[in-house]
Structure 1
Amino acid sequence: MSSPGFTKKKCILTFGYGNRKDYAKFLEYLRNFNVECVVDVRMVPRAWSRKWYGEQIKILCESNNIEYISKTALGNTSGKENWIPLNQEEADQALYEIAQLAQKGNILLLCAEMNPNRCHRKEVAHCLESLASLPVKHLE
């Protein structure tokens, strides 16, 4: 799954829960990559399943000693993979804050779309990669 030593270096991860019925893969990634903070980049942290609501993810993360942050400013108004934030100034501020967090430990950007190539989080991660000078790994 990952190259030896990858989890030892700081990185920016991305994950989309898609239609997953449980947290198994999500928790596996959180543990395997030593994630310290999950950053929810959905404009509205809700899902077809209440399991993936922001408040439920926060409870899950905190029970595993992982910080959860919702950054709705990093959400997407385009409805497609190209990222168009609602307010660019707020998005820029959120990117700066998350880049600072990424310097302290591994972060995971969470969104709904399972395929990173069809999700705006890929563009968000690219911006963070430049700001934080850290590698990005998209998890499926």
Structure 2
Amino acid sequence: MNKTSKDQYFILTFGYGNRVNYDTLLDYIKEFKIDFLIDVREKPRAWSRKWYGDQLEKFCHEQGIEYLSETTLGNVSGTSHWVSPDPKKAEQVLQDIAQKTQSKTVLLLCAEMDHHRCHRVEVAEKLQELIHLPIKHLE
């Protein structure tokens, strides 16, 4: 899934919410030619086993994209305001992601479907400061 120089790279965000399958996510993977799916949940588990980190990693591998579970980018605030469980490590993780994804399309995945109510917006903004790509929130 290589992009040409004419293609646009993004920092995308997506919340799976109550979805029971990967159909919408797969459509976005194809439409935006996603290179990395970065799971920003503190605990990569869900009400449905399908959205567990190990299942997402398998799904991503089948799609030819890289899955990263970055629990330090999770949120312990109980609100949409991002508070990392380990702020120092989170800064380093963001630096590492920035190094890997300079010219790639990245999707930040979390559980909350409505990005207005999710910390992934703040995570995306911090990553944007490092790699200067536009942010697009997918529904």
Letter in 2 for 1:37: F
User: What is the aligned partner in structure 1 of residue 94 from structure 2?
Assistant: 95
User: What is the aligned partner in structure 2 of residue 85 from structure 1?
Assistant: 84
**What's the TM-score once normalised by structure 1's chain length?**
0.93
1:13, CA displacement in angstroms?
0.3
- How many pairs are equivalent? 135
Deviation per CA, 1:19-75: give whole Å up to 9, x if none: 001110000001100001100000000000000000000000000101000000100
1:129, CA displacement in angstroms?
0.8
**What's the TM-score once normalised by structure 2's chain length?**
0.94
Runs (4+) of structure 1 exceeding 6 A deviation are: none
Identity of aligned residues (%): 51
Q: Distance in 1 between matches of 2:50 and 2:37?
A: 15
User: What is the aligned partner in structure 1 of residue 46 from structure 2?
Assistant: 47
User: What is the aligned partner in structure 1 of residue 67 from structure 2?
Assistant: 68
Letter in 2 for 1:56: Q
Letter in 2 for 1:51: K
Q: Distance in 2 between matches of 1:70 and 1:64?
A: 17
SS of residue paired to 2:136: strand
Q: Is 1:24 the counterpart of 2:23 in the alignment?
A: yes
1:125, CA displacement in angstroms?
0.2
User: What is the aligned partner in structure 2 of residue 118 from structure 1?
Assistant: 117
Q: Distance in 1 between matches of 2:111 and 2:32?
A: 20
1:97, CA displacement in angstroms?
1.2
Letter in 2 for 1:64: Q
Q: Distance in 2 between matches of 1:121 and 1:100?
A: 19
Q: Distance in 2 between matches of 1:46 and 1:132?
A: 28
1:101, CA displacement in angstroms?
2.4
Give the unaligned 5+ runs of structure 1. 1-6
Q: Over aligned residues, Cα RMSD in angstroms?
A: 1.3
User: What is the aligned partner in structure 2 of residue 137 from structure 1?
Assistant: 136
